[in-house]
Amino acid sequence: MPQQPIKLYRHPLSGHAHRVELLLSLLKVPTELVFVDLAKGAHKQPEFLALNPFGQVPVIDDNGTVLADSNAILVYLAKQYGTGSWLADEPVAAARVQRWLSVAAGQVAYGPAAARLITVFGASFNAEEVINRAHSLLQMMETELSTTAFLTGSEPSIADVANYAYIAHAPEGNVSLADYPNVRAWLARIEALPGFVPMQATAAGLLAK
């Protein structure tokens, strides 16, 4: 365990930041949450840019080891504080995890995450395009999750952590999960893990009141 709590610079509505918060909680690593006010441009100020020149959350400071990029941080935390199950050393198993980290950075980011950015943050994506992209991804996940409990096998890995938040919160971006029972069961299995912490929900999209 770290000597001092790991500082996690995050915004409560960022799925990228939630990935890191979730893994830290699952690993039972002491954490200090540092709020970054994206609405006021705190992520573009010199002091934050010194932590991450890209001006994005999340960033962690692990007793002087400063890292940005959510998936890179997941790899670090799994190697530094996790057991082998979170990120296997065996080549094929490690490659399977990397495949899903790429999905999180690609199809998820430009599908359900982008759809949610429209409704929650007012982003200017083409709603029909990103919603269709989200359903294409969900159909693929539905098929793959018909044979495995988690994305890379019978045990959870950082692949599941990386993909969880934006899939779970897809309805906020007008992406229904109704037709994907295997995906919903997978989300429930993650939510049942000891140490699970949810991401803050918003009354947007299909959840609008």
Does the N-terminal peptide bond of residue 46 adopt cis geometry, omega within 30 degrees of 0?
no
Question: Residue 203: what pLDDT?
Answer: 73
Q: Which helix (H) or strand (E) holds 7?
A: strand 6-10
pLDDT tens column, 158-198: 999 999 999 999 999 999 999 999 999 999 999 999 999 99
Residue 1 pLDDT > 80, yes or no? Answer: no
Which of the listed CATH numbers 2.40.10.170, 3.40.30.10, 3.40.50.970, 3.40.50.300 matches domain 6-81?
Answer: 3.40.30.10
Residue with tokens 């294409």: 136
- For 91-207, CATH gives 1.20.1050.10
Percentage of the chain exceeding pLDDT 90? 76
Reported as a pLDDT band with limits 50, 70 and 90, residue 126 is confident
Q: Any idea where the domains of the chain sit in the sequence?
A: 6-81, 91-207
Give the pLDDT of residue 208: 66
Percentage of residues of the chain with pLDDT beyond 70: 98
pLDDT given at position 209: 58
